[in-house]
Structure 1
């Protein structure tokens, strides 16, 4: 039992490690070159759930809005992906190259950081630093340092309705109330919204729209910091967790001297805010009057059906469309069950959503496009589709009937179809070539045993070729190892190729006397060092002559070699007139070739 426990614990730790490795925290901007006063958006995205998000300082930029938080959940083939994004609307206040620093966040126990973003700011419009327009709070409401800051700065979770049916949409707003100045803000934690399918409202999220409201007899500057549309997934009482932020609040402080009394004294206070939990009472959908085939649509909808043609040939395609429009849980609608004739081959529908999320909820349409192929000739009928939904406003179910379509299928062309006959009514039946393969008739094309390739001499020869090739490769490898094991022999064997490279360099230097003779001299000395296994430091006329004589090299050839070396040596200090550079080059090549032949 202990062994099984440790194995399970190890697997869980490995899984968490893999998840942490896959986490990515990135930063992006809508444009890397902007003008002063021009608004742009910077977004910090993480492909998972994280907390303790810390934005950069945004030095050189004015923060117009943010953080605007959005999240999404995607499920494909059972794999669920969660992503969150924190965006800010900024405006550059000065020209030049300005860098947006790194943001950080803790994901799966690891603190991740984004890469810095370099921005180019050119001359544009002047920036209004102290704008008292609609997107700024009313400073007249600001008060002196309160004894209890929670009564002057707080967040409320406000739902347009707290008692709903299962699947009914709820507009949830996190509303910020303040009577003090706000210098900076940071999002700490988003609620999990467990028990709801959620969709963030992105309308009017680029800038916080401040307004003045009276709450419990006090006037506050109010802004909606986040709005989401929720759909309850089950009935019962569901609690929405707190929305957590940290603010830097600027409040008045007691005056310390006469200057503070005249101009005023302020201090910045760091203050964490949590919205109170909000309970949503979710009622189950009534069983009384629930129509057959109801799939969970809740809202207010209309439906239309259409076909692209009412007459076609067998094995041609027919498009059947169903469009559901209205407001409600459109994105949660399930597949429709359309009763096509048995002779129609049906494919899974293509689903196209045209949906808008706003402060009034989710509205739009979903289009189902079915592709069907009739296989037989005849007259057919597509029965009307019945789409049912629950209307929470009336508390009743509604059934929407579609149209009935009569489809005439004519006989297909012989070129594109294969003809068979029904044993029941002898009518022509059209089938695609991929559906049915007919039995071949005529000569089967059989052969006797032993006449095919698998028992021929070529077959056995190819079988033996593989092992023989392996043996040959093994022998070749061992021979190369033996040849390369003696370093001296390898250098001697490759000396001619090394010398040829030096002489090729010398040939390119014809006309440049000093460098030409230097290359010839190095080429000959390097060749002799490798060929005779004598270090360059020990080479001189005596050692070269003695080593070549010991190898039985012709005396005339040795004399020519020494003469060529003397010419190269003297050319460094005085002009050589007895022999041209081309003649020296050819003579060096001849000497090396003759030594290669004799050794």
Structure 2
């Protein structure tokens, strides 16, 4: 009986589709659109072909001047109003422009209900961007009947997640000397849907001095890379510059992360199969492979006397601001070391001076930048010098030695020699100290003994001063009172924040507000796909935190059940479910009948209603 009813239902649905589509056959159109009309070389964009009918065969246009990096991706939607059924199908390709210029992508040819139709042509302007390796450009779409295709994966089937999602640590050198700089990039490779992620463990750099390269952009930049014959979406998560501090075989520990991946799940239910099947979310932990770095000791042969561990390629220059001064007046001697290497690990060079010239510790000023090519720039050492007696002096050249790992040789550089003529100082003048913040700020005293103060000494009788006054006792009691108040506040704070679930639930509204703020930005910029994506993430993230449901278990049935347990009204739950369905459908196919602003306002209202009721 069950199978009989199901067969009747499917036949009735098919009849409705056939009648509705036949009635709309005269209004069938094929529309070609692109996500951007102006793109840079190497910049991915999408071209879509939409048909308000069932596609029987599809012939894509010639895509000369572009590389096809994804697709065709197929989506479809059906709606039935008063017995009139409307079907809409679309196919899209991800393209990358190769050369600058203005291009016209010709029409695609589509057969619908036995009738051949053509889409409109699309103009694309390609401006200068990044270089693209050529060789795969042109028409790479399927001819004839189009079918949706995912990214090519490595050996095995789509359930083998390890071949579709992994981390790589890439070092530009693995055989180096102590103190020699090298860089490591941690990259994420994926061609599977990712729902959520969390960082498990950052790599340890035991035996290395590390410097992370800061990314000015707050968002991860995705690129398409062909690795071992397979195309992946690749994101660089971290870039580090490292300097080994000891020799031997040192290991860079892996970076560990946990992902929630979404995969299609087989189903025997004909209804689910008809409407696109089902899916399941799975937690998956991955780690990058550890890297072994062979660190060689610096050679003893040719090591100069006074070598302090500088490794790289450097140059030096020295400046003395005056060549003639009076005794006890200050001189500034500045040594500048420029180049690439372990600049931040350099020790202050020893300056050899005559006994009558006093020297203070140098002030260090850095002008250093970090890129994947290494650390480069300059470091300045400014010495304050004070000659104490008159005479003619010579500041001898300063010697600086470093090891060049490219030539595998030690180099010794020498600064210039500076003569200094010191005249007799003013009678009674002396230099006693200088401010560390500004080495030019030298304090002068006229005498070795301070002057005797005259006039009213400001003495007071016993009991008339601050000690023993009312203010004294008030301030004396303030300490214990503040201590007790702080102790009480700490106890209240611990009691109020010991439940991590409640804290997460209290902060759920703030997290959702961030996603909705991003969605409003996308709405203002006109990016509908990104808008619905942010609204979808905002609602699901809010519900996960508010209801304490993990990402892997977050589905509509669990959400409805938890909201009912919290006595949330059924109309609110129905509005939430409807909005989630609308956002999910809008991520894969265009929708009509409701504006994006209405969806945004509806999402905000639902969150506020849940906060008031739950």
TM-score by length of 1: 0.47
TM-score by length of 2: 0.46
Which protein has the larger Cα radius of gyration, Structure 1 or Structure 2? Answer: 1
